[in-house]
Structure 1
Amino acid sequence: MTTAATDTGSGAGALLRSWRERRQFSQLQLALRADSSARHISFIETGRSRPSQEMILRLAEHLDVPVRERNTLLLAAGYAPLYPETSMDDPTMDALRAGVERLLAAHDPYPALVVDGTYRILAANRSVGLLLAGVAEHLLEQPLNAMRITLHPEGLAPRIRNLHEWRGHLLEQMERQIALVRSEPLRALYEEVSAYPVPADAGAESSRDAAELFPFALPLRIEHDGRVLSFFSTIATFNTPMDVTVSELAMETFLPADPETVAYLQSLTP
């Protein structure tokens, strides 16, 4: 009599179990969501049952597994990757790239940029360039990285009036991402930027100061050309991406948080 081999930790079952535990689902909860049974989920996780491609994708959907990691799950189960990873320079991305560039241009005179999953800047509008005046040349060499430029002591950090709060917000954002995705490059970036020294004279404003001025959201308060500009930040991603590259794109737009910022930036418009 023969018995099925048990997954010892490296196959699709172990990966699915890891994602289930990360999302804090029981086997029964996941089974109910995926129209399966706790017994079948258990068999998949222990390697006693090989999941179909359809089942892997269904479980990944309910576990909110990132697109890149869905390919990893498929490979671990012996299936070909389903989602391509297409360079933004590829001709098939022309329509997407043109659409993104139109959105960025339409947001002028307010800053807007597009980053990938490790905060590499892929595109930005003219107003982002205005804020980079005074940033060290080595931080402006390709590939530009938004987190490095913002938090490095030779970057924007010395000019951010509420640096302690804004730095805390960015690091918490990265921590949430690391908890959701298995990205060693992102973790390495987090370890790098979180270790940057905080300029001694930075962050003149306290959280209480900012809360009194802007009670409903944390603003970015940055010194520029003898004045302080205030922005709220929003982040947009693509719905139901079918490409790894597209799934990791994020557009960050900065909205003026006070009339003074509006007036100044509009005065720069040709």
Structure 2
Amino acid sequence: MTTVGDVLRDWRARRRLSQLDLAGEADVSTRHLSFVESGRAAPSRDLLLRLAEPLAMPLREQNRLLLAAGYAPVHGERALDAPDMAAALAAVDAVLRAHAPFPALAVDRHWNLVRANDAATAMLVGIEPILLEPPVNVLRATLHPKGLAPRIANLAEWRHHLLARLRMDIDRSADPALEALHAELRSYPSPVSREPHVPVARIAVPLAIQSEAHGRVLSFLSTTTVFGTATDVTLAELTLECFYPADDDTRQALLSGSRP
């Protein structure tokens, strides 16, 4: 059975914080924190939430900490189709529609596709059908040899970029499913690194993808958006990924009405 001490020690190790460091950040004595971790003292709900803050624990992990202490979770976890989520999903849909004709999509905590605008959906046309069976994992569909990988002109650097982002997600969430996904993606054939295809690579990593519709490489920069005030676990773990043209040729190609 997982104890409060197990959870706290694990997250202190992830954040490289000693008991002294964490106690100072949470305004509690080191002695009392030691007693909490060893099981000699029963922490209050308020203390656990104070400890979770400097540890930057995701809402899901805060709930796990509370459950380990015998408390009910404080953060709800609703299904995306729950009535309470309607307003949030409407906001997501509005962002995706407004981003057209440029690609934009929304993914859950495991990088499974939740929503996509037409431009993003068009990017997936032509890949192996099994990769498009729900739930569609965006990272798998991108890096799989039968996915988008053969069309990505700068596959080596884009692969490195995505694996680094996934590693950061793992460090933030401690999610074993993401660890398994990372191991799977790393097992795919590793391409030979080539020079960046667009100058903007000096300030950001672009996605340079071969477009069959245009007969040329289209280059994109990506940004991520999250709900900064979410108190629901599912909503807090939702990420919007928006792609912007990295050069004028790409911008004009998409503004012309053609798909990526």
Q: Which band: TM-score by shorter chain?
A: over 0.9
- The SS at the match of 1:268 is coil
**What is the deviation of 1:18?**
1.4
The match for 2:196 is 209
User: What is the aligned-residue RMSD (CA, Å)?
Assistant: 1.8
TM-score (norm 2): 0.94
Q: Deviation string for 1:76-101 (max 9, x for gaps)?
A: 00111111111111111111111110
Q: Deviation string for 1:10-51 (max 9, x for gaps)?
A: 310221121112111122221121111111111111111111
- The SS at the match of 1:209 is coil
Residue 258 (structure 1) aligned to one of 210, 224, 247: 247
Distance 1:30 1:213 in 2: 40
Distance 1:232 1:125 in 2: 17
User: Pairwise mapping of residues 54-203 of structure 1 onto structure 2 (< 5 A)?
Assistant: 54-198=46-190
Distance 2:137 2:200 in 1: 30
What 5-or-longer segments of structure 2 have no aligned partner? none
The match for 2:233 is 244
| Code of the aligned partner of 2:51 | L
**What is the deviation of 1:138?**
1.1
- The SS at the match of 1:235 is strand
Distance 2:46 2:236 in 1: 20
Residue 228 (structure 1) aligned to one of 217, 220, 230: 217
Distance 2:19 2:198 in 1: 43
What 5-or-longer segments of structure 1 have no aligned partner? 1-8
Distance 1:114 1:213 in 2: 25
Distance 1:26 1:197 in 2: 40
Distance 1:189 1:143 in 2: 14
Distance 1:186 1:22 in 2: 16
Distance 1:49 1:62 in 2: 20
Q: Is the 8 A contact 1:211 1:218 kept in 2?
A: no
Distance 1:187 1:116 in 2: 15
User: Pairwise mapping of residues 17-28 of structure 1 onto structure 2 (< 5 A)?
Assistant: 17-28=9-20
The match for 1:36 is 28
Q: Percent identity?
A: 47
Q: Is the 8 A contact 1:12 1:77 kept in 2?
A: yes
Q: Is the 8 A contact 2:163 2:182 kept in 1?
A: yes
Question: How many residues are paired up?
Answer: 257
**What is the deviation of 1:261?**
0.4
User: Does the alignment pair 1:219 with 2:206?
Assistant: yes
Q: Which moved more, 1:58-67 or 1:213-222?
A: 213-222
> Which has more radius of gyration?
1
**What is the deviation of 1:269?**
6.9
Distance 2:185 2:23 in 1: 40
- The SS at the match of 1:214 is helix
